[in-house]
Amino acid sequence: MVFASVFERVFGKAQKTITKPFGVLDLPHELLKIIMIHVDDSSIIAIRSTCTFLREESKDRFLALYFTDIEIKMCKKSLQKLLSFSDEPHLVSQIKSLVFAIPVHYYFPHHLDLITEVLSGLSRHGKAISFGVASGQENHTDLKVHVGDMMHLLRSRLVEARELMNVPSWKIIIRTRDFRNDSGLFVYWCLIDLRRFIGWEARDITVTQAILVEIHDGCGQPTREINISKKTSRTMQAVCINLN
């Protein structure tokens, strides 16, 4: 009877030891580091919520993934968030390009002062950052007007950033579901303001800085990428003809 009682206690403890779940965090840190190498980029955020160790181990990849090329929506909330980032040197140090996505029928005077604050905040760190503008969506009732709004922001605020910091290049992203919009205008005419800006108002920019124009058609076609260099007028003329 005594033997049976002892056996039950010993066996019960052994069973508890055997059935205790073995978690990933029970692995040595050396193995966890190896595992982190093979974690897919899409799982980085989930991994970071696991524990402090994995959060620290994934920090560099997280910053490189989400803070290298930033595209933010042009609204007060996003701009205020970006302004708070400008007080974090470890975040600003990761930024290589910053693109402002402009919604349709956007009214610029609402946020011009806030944009200036953001640029001023980023300039304190001495980081070279490429700036750009983008279509905030693919459906446009008047793409020509929308492109004009994009150029207005580029001219009225972003070009001024050159006086505050090193801007090595510029990016212009145009998104439209078809190269012929609802009103029947060809992209050639939709890009008139863009062509005017690159060909005349930004000649001093293209002498020392590159302008990359990306056009996304949203219809499964390859993205058009056009690098604008010193021969701006001729290059843009060829671009518009090819699109038409």
Beta strands of the chain (E only): which ranges? Answer: 69-73, 97-102, 130-135, 169-175, 210-216, 224-228
Q: How many of the other CB atoms lie within 10 Å of CB of 102?
A: 22
Distance CA 78, CA 80 (A): 5
| Paired tokens of 188 | 């050639």
Which of residues 88 and 21 earns the better pLDDT score?
88
Classify residue 210 by burial, with Cβ atoms within 10 Å: 0-12, 13-18, 19+: middle
Q: Which of helix, strand or coil describes residue 230? A: coil
Distance CA 84, CA 63 (A): 16
Q: Which conformational region is residue 182 in: left (phi greater than 0), alpha (psi within -120 to 50 degrees), or beta?
A: alpha
Backbone angles phi, psi at 20, to 5 degrees: -65, 125
Kindly report the pTM of this predicted structure. 0.70
Q: What average pLDDT does this structure show over 86-95? A: 88
Round the average pLDDT of the chain to a whole number and report it: 72
* pLDDT band at residue 80 under the 50/70/90 scheme: very high
Distance (Å, rounded) from C-alpha 225 to C-alpha 219? Answer: 16
User: Which residues, in sequence order, are CB contacts of 174 under 8 Å at separation 6+?
Assistant: 134, 135, 143, 147, 150, 191, 194, 213, 214, 215, 216
Interatomic CA distance for residues 23 and 2, integer angstroms: 36
Q: What percent of the chain has pLDDT over 70?
A: 61
> Is beta strand 169-175 parallel, antiparallel or unpaired with respect to 210-216?
parallel
Question: Coil, helix or strand for 109?
Answer: helix
Q: In what order do the strands lie in the sheet with 69-73?
A: 69-73, 97-102, 130-135, 169-175, 210-216, 224-228
Query: CA 243, CA 186: separation in Å to the nearest integer?
Result: 8
For the ranges 35-44, 92-101, 171-180, the maximum mean pLDDT occurs at: 92-101
Between 223 and 120, residue with greater pLDDT: 120
What confidence tier does 217 reach under pLDDT thresholds 50, 70, 90? low
For the segment 93-111, the average pLDDT, to the nearest whole number, is 83
What gap in Å lies between CA 56 and CA 59, rounded to an integer?
Answer: 5
